[in-house]
Amino acid sequence: MDGQQTTGSEREVVDEAGQKSTADVGTSYIPDTTDYSRFYDDTPNTAEPRAYTEDEIELDITEDKYVSCVNDIYVYAEDYLGKMIRIEGMYLGEDFEGRDYHYIYRHGPGCCDTDGEMCGFAFNYNGEMPKEGAWIEVVGTLRQYLEGNLAYFTLDAISVTVKDEQGAKDVKE
């Protein structure tokens, strides 16, 4: 999560209209107001399924640092947008309000250790989708798009491969 934790007394705050003032904020969270809109890309994934080389992979999200890598992307988005990423996990597809969504994820830690929180990304793919619950590897370029007034990450996949060997469904790091 971007931003900073503050403790006690008065701090300069900025309201939604951009007006600065001083307030007694006590212990609070001041969100990061960095404008990432230059990274928003609302165009559909036009990448065709294809083979890739190891040299194209800029970030390989491995099992031993899965949660750390995913969190790092969410915190330092600017460093990862437009990069080719490889990630393994379970497949979930859903239809929400007439739109198809596809996810690659593992169960990561939540508020009480590993309690089943989804940790991963949405992805788009112009090839055949796997069966629900399949263990897959996705290779794609990370981008951010707007849906309404909220920004989301997605991988524009060039490869989705069903794997015979599964990794850990529950990850802590």
Domains defined along the chain, listed by start = 1-33 (no CATH), 37-162 (2.40.50.140)
Contact by Cβ (8 Å): 155, 124: yes
Res 157: pLDDT: 96
Q: pLDDT value at position 25? A: 41
Structure tokens at 15: 């309201």
pLDDT digits (tens, 9 = 90+) for 24-56: 444 444 444 556 666 667 777 778 899 999 999
Its pTM stands at 0.74
Q: Which residues of the chain have pLDDT under 70?
A: 1-40, 110-116
- CA–CA distance, 80 with 42 (Å, rounded to integer): 17
